Copies of this chain bind each other. A is one copy, B any other.
Amino acid sequence: MRSAAVVGTGLMGTSVALALSRQGIQVFLDDADTTAARTAEALGAGSLDAPDGPVDVAVLAVPPAHVGTALKECQERGLARTYTDVASVKERPYQDVLMAGGDPGRYVGGHPLAGAERSGPLAARADLFEGRLWVLTPVEPADRGALNQVLELVALCGGTPVIMDAAAHDRAVALTSHAPHLVSTLMAARLAEADGEHIRVCGQGLRDVTRIAAGEPALWGDILEANAEAVADVLEACAADMERTVAALRALHGADGGPRRRAAADLQETLRRGTRGAARVPRKHGAGPVEFATVPVAVPDQPGALARLFATVSEAGVNIEDVTIEHAVGRPTGLVELVVERSSAEEVRRLIDARGWTARDHAPLVARN
């Protein structure tokens, strides 16, 4: 790939353009909003000139509802040989492409899983896609050449490509992005008219839960509309769980005996299901569940012994995840089990031996997420 066009110089388009320019690709920028386009140009994202002939790839970084008409229009003026987009829904834009009469043979839908709190070209970053997943949804008539061109674009931006069906993608993002956006919004909406003194009493949890609710309403309206059915399915199930939780809380407040015990059990089950779900969220791309190992150590039962053990381990830069202490009655030592990351366990054992502690060699592995 030698040349690219970016149509739409908002956050996503300008970030793609910056990433490609940094890799030496000649990038042409196009946006009806001349402030955005000139800002992107001033940031070094590319040129506002029109290309002399078709570029290798054009990235349609326009709202989901405009992808179909933008593709048709760009193909008519021969802007590029291959086209992709960055819309966060994929089924509807593809239908729009067909409806608008664009050529689906040179179009591969795309959705980079990256974003920022602010929108517009000033929030753009060349490394926005570094290490992020980038879903591609090629549909049958799209040829292999077009797919490979877009795979190269993703690689140049530092993303990790994932090929999916458009419909599966849309159900996935309904669950992992669109419904969470609405859940965050609905919680934040409760604060819109609340007492300021009450809101002051807030911790990091509220900040985290409501952060994405600050997203641009117009943009999110488009996204949600384009994936309305799949989002409604997730949110409806969530609302039903919420009603049950309200009922359990009311029973915990007002009921006694059996109904109260059942309400407490219901609430526990919901909380546990939540921890199971939260544990499945990938905390870092590519990072699987961290494996832990238990390192048992015999520790003399005397003041400061445990403190010296902790100091020894933390000097090595190893985090102690958990600890259990057992005392054998009438014995001068206790058995301490340190839970550490598996990759550090060997080092901890060596260190402990070197300091004259007795590390046992039995070390069962525990997988935690």
| Chain A residues engaging chain B, CB cutoff 8 angstroms | 34-35, 38-39, 41-44, 113-115, 120, 122, 132-133, 135, 162, 164, 168-169, 171-173, 175-177, 179-192, 194-215, 217-218, 220-221, 224-225, 228-229, 231-232, 234-239, 241-243, 245-246, 249-250, 252-253, 264, 267-268, 270-283, 306-307, 309-310, 320-325, 327
Q: Which B residues touch A325, using CB under 8 A?
A: 34-35, 38-39
A contact face: mostly helix, strand, loop, or mixed: helix
Q: Which B residues touch A208, using CB under 8 A?
A: 184, 208-209, 211-212
- A299 to chain B minimum Cβ distance, whole angstroms, is 10
Asked if residues A205 and B201 are in contact (CB atoms below 8 Å), the reply is no
CB nearest to A237 among chain B residues: B190
Q: Which B residues touch A215, using CB under 8 A?
A: 271, 275
What CA separation (Å) do A44 and B314 show in the bound complex? 14
Asked if residues B210 and A278 are in contact (CB atoms below 8 Å), the reply is yes
Asked if residues B188 and A281 are in contact (CB atoms below 8 Å), the reply is yes
Q: Known contacts A39-B325, A192-B277, A224-B267; can you find 7 more A-B pairs with CB under 8 A?
A: A44-B307, A113-B201, A172-B195, A182-B245, A191-B277, A205-B212, A228-B249
Contact of A281 among B171, B206, B268, B280 (CB under 8 A): B206
A-B contact pairs, 13 of them (CB 8 A): A39-B325, A42-B309, A172-B199, A175-B190, A175-B198, A186-B238, A189-B277, A192-B273, A217-B271, A220-B271, A228-B250, A235-B249, A239-B246
Asked if residues B224 and A198 are in contact (CB atoms below 8 Å), the reply is no
User: Given contacts A35-B323, A221-B268, is CB(A242)–CB(B241) below 8 Å?
Assistant: no
Contact of A207 among B115, B249, B283 (CB under 8 A): B283
User: Given contacts A212-B205, A281-B207, is CB(A235)–CB(B231) below 8 Å?
Assistant: no
User: Given contacts A177-B206, A252-B225, A270-B185, is CB(A190)–CB(B234) below 8 Å?
Assistant: yes
Asked if residues B42 and A185 are in contact (CB atoms below 8 Å), the reply is no
Asked if residues A277 and B39 are in contact (CB atoms below 8 Å), the reply is no
Q: Which B residues touch A267, using CB under 8 A?
A: 221, 224-225
What CA separation (Å) do A39 and B323 show in the bound complex? 8
What CA separation (Å) do A283 and B210 show in the bound complex? 11
Asked if residues A214 and B280 are in contact (CB atoms below 8 Å), the reply is no
Q: Which B residues touch A277, using CB under 8 A?
A: 187-192, 194, 210, 213
Asked if residues B204 and A232 are in contact (CB atoms below 8 Å), the reply is no
Contact of A276 among B43, B192, B245 (CB under 8 A): B192
Asked if residues A249 and B229 are in contact (CB atoms below 8 Å), the reply is yes
Q: Which B residues touch A202, using CB under 8 A?
A: 113, 176-177, 281-282
- A46 to chain B minimum Cβ distance, whole angstroms, is 12
- A176 to chain B minimum Cβ distance, whole angstroms, is 4
Q: Which B residues touch A135, using CB under 8 A?
A: 201
Q: Which B residues touch A270, using CB under 8 A?
A: 182, 185-186, 189
Asked if residues B172 and A198 are in contact (CB atoms below 8 Å), the reply is yes
CB nearest to A212 among chain B residues: B205
User: Given contacts A186-B270, A187-B180, A189-B274, is CB(A196)–CB(B280) below 8 Å?
Assistant: yes
Q: Which B residues touch A184, using CB under 8 A?
A: 205, 208-209, 274, 278
CB nearest to A334 among chain B residues: B38
What CA separation (Å) do A309 and B39 show in the bound complex? 11
User: Given contacts A192-B277, A201-B113, A270-B189, is CB(A310)–CB(B42) below 8 Å?
Assistant: yes
